[in-house]
Amino acid sequence: MASLFDPITIGDITLNNRVVMAPLTRNRSPKAVPNTLNAAYYEQRASAGLLITEATAITHQGQGYADVPGLYTAEALEGWRKVTDAVHKVGGKIVVQMWHVGRISHTSLQPNGGQPVAPSAIRAKSKTYLVNPDGTGSFAETSEPRALELGEIAGIVEDYRKAARAAIDVGFDGVEIHAANGYLIDQFLRSSSNKRTDAYGGPIENRARFLFEVVDVITKEIGAGRVGIRISPVTPSNDAFDPEPQALFTYVVEKLARYPLAYVHIVEGATGGARDHQQGDYPFDYAGLRAAYTAVGGKAAWMANNGYDRDLAVRTVESGEADLVAFGKPFIANPDLVRRLKDGAPLNAPDQATFYGGGARGYTDYPLLEEVA
């Protein structure tokens, strides 16, 4: 029987335990460049079996929030090299979450103030985070997007390939394809945001075409054993909705089973919210989703996420329902979360006022267990 604290090999990556730090946007990388403060933050949390970085834009067009990091300039890549070096120095493993936000952006964040792009010209009922002229941060409505022209899509697929190669070259152990939470790939997948009438719209296999073109180029470029993918079948984040999520995501995982990926990362329920959130007429069957994946030969590690506490995580791994469990907010306030979970120790409470933007306060100054004692 496996334990949450046992080592595991996922694809080409060997982990010291099965506790994963989920991707957490913190808005502390001005000009999209990771810095020494970011390096300290990840190094502090490197006792996790795997660190997944905050979502990281593959291009300027893919940027949707102020002061989030990128993978598309020499300065950003050098910044990430400092992060990967810091994590590896203390024996950690880290992958970068590759992000194109699609319509979840604002003209002030786009190249030359242009419109965000999307599968279809449908504005999301959502907000993004901007930095004001006085340096304070605030949330603003997303801008009206334009529909991608058919001839533009291949260029974005190529952007994913380039970003994956760059990530490996600066020391990441792998990459996670962000196909969740209402961002570009997810926008293509869902019928509410994809009204295209060409080869990328209509039936499920067409709506999933963009996702699998991205998976194809990345796995060929860096090897499937260094690639994970994140999906969120029923989350309402960023105005994401589909009336038939079970059919949609069963198709997605069955086709993902063809690739010897490192892991499949599932957000259960509403991201950061209710685990039993429902879209469509029936509750989502997560066990059925995994069964569909394994039935056609899928062998990647299964990563569960959303609202897990210690007891639920321990039971989930021991029962074999998942191989890995990702924790989000608990890692913000507890850099030594793995130790606390193992010992059953109390957790620091996170300061929500410091989640987005700022400096070291609420970022790298949470006390370790021995400091609290």
Q: Is the pTM of this model over 0.85?
A: yes
Residue 70 is given by DSSP the state B
Instruction: Kindly state whether residue 2 falls inside one of the protein's structural domains.
Output: no
Give a yes or no: residue 77 inside a domain: yes
Q: Are 104 and 59 in contact (CB under 8 A)?
A: no
Evaluate whether 7 touches 315 at the Cβ level (below 8 Å). Answer: no
Q: What DSSP element (H or E) covers 130?
A: strand 127-131
Two tokens, residue 2: 């496996």
Kindly report the number of other CB atoms within 10 A of residue 239's CB atom.
Answer: 18
Q: Does residue 206 lie in a domain region? A: yes
CATH number at residue 249: 3.20.20.70
**271-320 per-position pLDDT tens digit:** 999 999 999 899 999 999 999 999 999 999 999 999 999 999 999 999 99
CA dihedral 234, 249, 97, 147 (to 10 degrees): -80
Instruction: Give me the residues paired with residue 118 across strands.
Output: 147
Rounded distance between C-alpha atoms, residue 181 and residue 169, angstroms? 27
Instruction: Indicate if 251 belongs to the active site.
Output: no
Confidence bin at 373 (pLDDT 50/70/90): low
Q: Decide: 193 and 236 in contact? Cβ < 8 Å.
A: no
Average pLDDT over residues 227-236: 98
Structurally, how many domains does the chain consist of?
Answer: 1
Instruction: Give the pLDDT of residue 354.
Output: 97
Reference 23, options 76, 94, 97; nearest CA is 97
Closest CA to 46 of 5, 98, 86, 3: 86
In a domain, 356, yes or no: yes
Q: Tell me the pLDDT tens digit for each residue of 308-359.
A: 999 999 999 999 999 999 999 999 999 999 999 999 999 999 999 999 999 9
254 occurs within a structural domain: yes
For 206, the domain range is 8-372
- Are the CB atoms for 25 and 65 separated by under 8 Å? yes
Catalytic site residue from 65, 183, 286, 293: 183
The b-or-e profile of 306-320 (16+ CB within 10 A means b, else e) is: bbbebeebbebbeee
Torsion region of 297: left, alpha or beta (phi above 0 gives left; psi -120 to 50 gives alpha):
left
pLDDT band at 53 (very low <50, low <70, confident <90, very high): very high
